[in-house]
Structure 1
Amino acid sequence: MHLAQLNVGRLVAPEGDPRVADFYAALDEINALAEASPGFVWRMVDGESNNATTLRPYETDPDMLVNMSVWESRDALFDYVYRSGHMDYVRRRREFFLPMREAITVLWWVPEGTTPDLHDAMKRLDYLRENGPTPYAFTFRQYFEPEAPGSVL
């Protein structure tokens, strides 16, 4: 099994605004860092660029961005997020994104070779927000091991 992750964030300003210029300028570097990280498997891109910034999980919210990726393990994802150059941008998230009261990140297991679907990922985030962490949708803090082979996730 591999670990899928989805995170969302509402920008403080639209692309092109100086307040988010550093965020957009760093995307290629941070994406390359992810792809070079041990345990990286896949990340979502929009097909027109090397990132997913044109994809919108909510049609009515043009400032909400989405990011999704797959990793070999929780440790591999954790190391990339919190123990690499990516952490410099995690520390700066309040410069680029508005605070949100609800969960912005969801994790779940997918069979190796599976590419997660954005619609399914958003359902898992909604489920996490409504029900809390379960094996279906969880967080780094409240984590679940993969289900036994043959079980339904």
Structure 2
Amino acid sequence: MSQIAQVNIARMLAPLADPLMAEFVAQLDTINALADNSPGFLWRLQTAEGNATSLQPYEDALIIVNLSLWVSLADLTAFVYKSRHRSVLQQRHQWFQRFDGPYTALWWVPPGHIPDVAEAKQRLASLQTQGETSYAFSFKKPFPAPEEGSDLRTQVVVE
């Protein structure tokens, strides 16, 4: 059975050490622990510090990345929109700039596959150039999990 991967990027209004970001930073451990203990949670990108805020996958040092893996789209959706995470999401404009283009992408992966940042960036780029497809989609227009035995890597969109 396929699992759902998600990437979410955001451009901060200021560096993490800036007082403007203090409220966001203060909630990181709590929200990450909530994710870790949520039904259907499998994995998230993190460093030894327990989060991914020190990673710099983009040239712009103000862009942070969140990458995770879930058993089902329903589990991921419940965490994002029906848990305490929702209140943080509703406050995002206090800490993050409006993003030009897609900032969240979802895609199906085979069991045991752990996505990396390069793969996540590819999915976001595909969403930007190709729109919603089975290769990369959003919460607004989800695609169903592929049938058992499908080779998910063959779904790559050629540009």
TM band (smaller chain): over 0.9
SS at 2:5's partner residue? Answer: strand
Separation in structure 1 between the aligned mates of residue 71 and residue 63 of structure 2, nearest angstrom: 27
TM-score (norm 2): 0.92
Q: What CA deviation, in whole Å up to 9, does each residue of 1:39-66 have, x standing for no partner?
A: 11111102x31000011221x2000000
The one-letter amino acid of 2:130's match is N
SS at 2:106's partner residue? Answer: strand
For the pair 1:50 / 2:50, whether they are aligned, the reply is yes
SS at 1:38's partner residue? Answer: coil
For the pair 1:21 / 2:12, whether they are aligned, the reply is no
Q: What CA deviation, in whole Å up to 9, does each residue of 1:105-152 have, x standing for no partner?
A: 000011111111110110010000111010000001111112223333
For the pair 1:135 / 2:134, whether they are aligned, the reply is yes
For the pair 1:148 / 2:143, whether they are aligned, the reply is no
The one-letter amino acid of 2:65's match is V
- RMSD, aligned α-carbons: 0.9
The one-letter amino acid of 1:129's match is Q
TM-score (norm 1): 0.95
Separation in structure 1 between the aligned mates of residue 145 and residue 128 of structure 2, nearest angstrom: 20
SS at 1:8's partner residue? Answer: strand
For the pair 1:31 / 2:32, whether they are aligned, the reply is yes
Question: Which consecutive unaligned segments of at least 5 residues does structure 2 have?
Answer: 153-159
Separation in structure 2 between the aligned mates of residue 32 and residue 2 of structure 1, nearest angstrom: 20
Separation in structure 2 between the aligned mates of residue 108 and residue 20 of structure 1, nearest angstrom: 30
The one-letter amino acid of 1:53's match is T
